[in-house]
Amino acid sequence: MVLAMAVSAVVPASIALPSLVGLLLVLAAVLLVQRVVLPRRRFTLAMARVPGPPALPVLGNSLILTGGQDEFFRLLKDCAREYGEMFVIWVGLRPFVFVQSAEACQPLLNSSQHIDKSYEYRFLNDWVGTGLITSSGSKWHNRRKLLTPSFHNKVMEDFALTSQTSVNTFIEILGKQQGVFDVLPFAKLCTLDIICDTVMGHHMDFQRNSNADYVEAIAEISGIMQRRFITPWLKPDSLFNISPLGMKQRKCVKTIHKYVDNIIEMREKELQKRAHMNGNVDIGCEPLGSKASKHRIALLDLLLEMRKDGLSDEDIREEANTFMFAGHDTSATAVSWCLYVLGKHPDVQDRILEEVNSVKSETPDGTLNFQATQKLHYLDCCIKEVTVCSQRA
């Protein structure tokens, strides 16, 4: 108001107002250039040094990102073959750099500063909340510090037998397949069975019940996430939520949460019943994972125990959903890659079998128990090297 009065005192009002508006527009344009255009220009020039398929203005490489998960994987293979170990794909205005070298990934994975998740991780929030895989900053640090002690050998040892049972079922089912087939769906069902046992303390035998609502919901929502990731106009929540995919996702999330919530409730009742039978009313009266604890301790039991450390019911649900998803999906991918690489290197298979037979011969009953698997050093190296090997294959 004061500025307008000062201007009107010098020049006629009919001239002052348009001039003031013009001046403000010029200032806005200058700020836009300084704050947005120039940084964006420097960013795009830096990204131009990374090879990749030709991208269109605004759309990027969206026109070639039209298929499903299989087509996207084939595109990545083609790009790796053509552009080398590092290439970029533009999804709209956002570039995604794909790195195939373990050495190139190491500085990022070892960094304690670059831990903020990509914008796209928020697509998981409706499903897994802001648990360990999607949180950042102080919440991520605190949650990781709280959960790390849960991953001790006692938990894995307690569930070694049930894991072996799931693996035997996996082998049996693979043996019935004919011709060329995709091993990943079978691996996902196997790892999902194992993760249900170890995380939720509940065996479902999904390998023999692959049509279960939870399994179908997991498969469908994974496809939806991938489609949203490569489709620029599906990234804003306002557009995605009214799309058919958004409606399907809400249905899947409801199914997944109902399943997990039911198991959490059931497991909590079991723990309370066991505590009362032992003459205690506190679930945490007996140290979980200790020798005094005679029942198998699932990760969910440990999460429920952590209520005394400040973990809320919502926190428990977040972490249960996080480990159910991330635990089975990443493990299944690693298993599938490992089987693929071993299939192309029979000599490595022979060395693994030789090691396995040698270790088995040292056990009293001639089987691989948990302690025996710790002696499979060559197999351990193969599993750790599987990512690099798969890129060379």
Going from the N-terminus, what domains does the chain have, and what CATH number goes with each? 150-343 (1.10.630.10)
What does DSSP assign to residue 96? E
For the question of whether the overall pTM of this predicted structure is more than 0.85, the answer is no
Confidence (pLDDT) at 79: 92
* Distance of alpha carbon 330 from alpha carbon 307, whole angstroms: 28
* Distance of alpha carbon 191 from alpha carbon 153, whole angstroms: 18
- Residue showing tokens 């190296």: 381
Banded pLDDT at 189 (limits 50, 70, 90): very high
Residue 285 has pLDDT above 50, yes or no: no
Radius of gyration of the chain (CA): 27
Within 8 A by CB and 6+ apart from 202, the residues are 196, 263, 266, 267, 298
3-state SS, one letter per residue, for 31-51: HHHHHHHHHHHHHHHHHCCCC
**CA neighbor of 83 nearest in space, from 73, 66, 63, 98:** 98
Residue 354 has pLDDT above 60, yes or no: yes
Mean of pLDDT values over 19-45: 73
What does DSSP assign to residue 90? E
Helix axes 184-195, 213-229, angle to 10 degrees: 120
Q: How far is CA 260 from CA 94, 166, 202, 313, 321, in A?
A: 34, 20, 10, 12, 7
Mean of pLDDT values over 192-215: 86
Mean pLDDT rounded to a whole number for the chain = 80
CA-based end-to-end distance of the chain: 71
Q: Which two tokens stand for residue 298?
A: 């699932």
* Distance of alpha carbon 58 from alpha carbon 35, whole angstroms: 19
Give the distance, in angstroms, between the CA of residue 13 and the centroid of all CA atoms in the same chain. 62
Residue 306 has pLDDT above 60, yes or no: yes
* Distance of alpha carbon 389 from alpha carbon 337, whole angstroms: 9
Q: What residues are paired with 86 via a beta bridge?
A: 99
* Distance of alpha carbon 129 from alpha carbon 135, whole angstroms: 9
* Distance of alpha carbon 262 from alpha carbon 266, whole angstroms: 6
Query: According to the per-residue pLDDT averaged within each range, which of 106-115, 117-126, 152-161, 216-225 is highest?
Result: 216-225
3-class state of residue 246 by DSSP: helix
Burial class (CB in 10 A: 0-12, 13-18, 19+), 202: middle
- Residue showing tokens 């030709």: 54
For 180, phi and psi rounded to 5 degrees?
Answer: -80, 135
Higher pLDDT pick, 348 / 20: 348
Higher pLDDT pick, 109 / 362: 362
Confidence (pLDDT) at 17: 60
Residue 184 has pLDDT above 60, yes or no: yes
Q: Which stretch of 74-83, 97-106, 146-155, 254-263 has the lowest confidence by average pLDDT?
A: 146-155
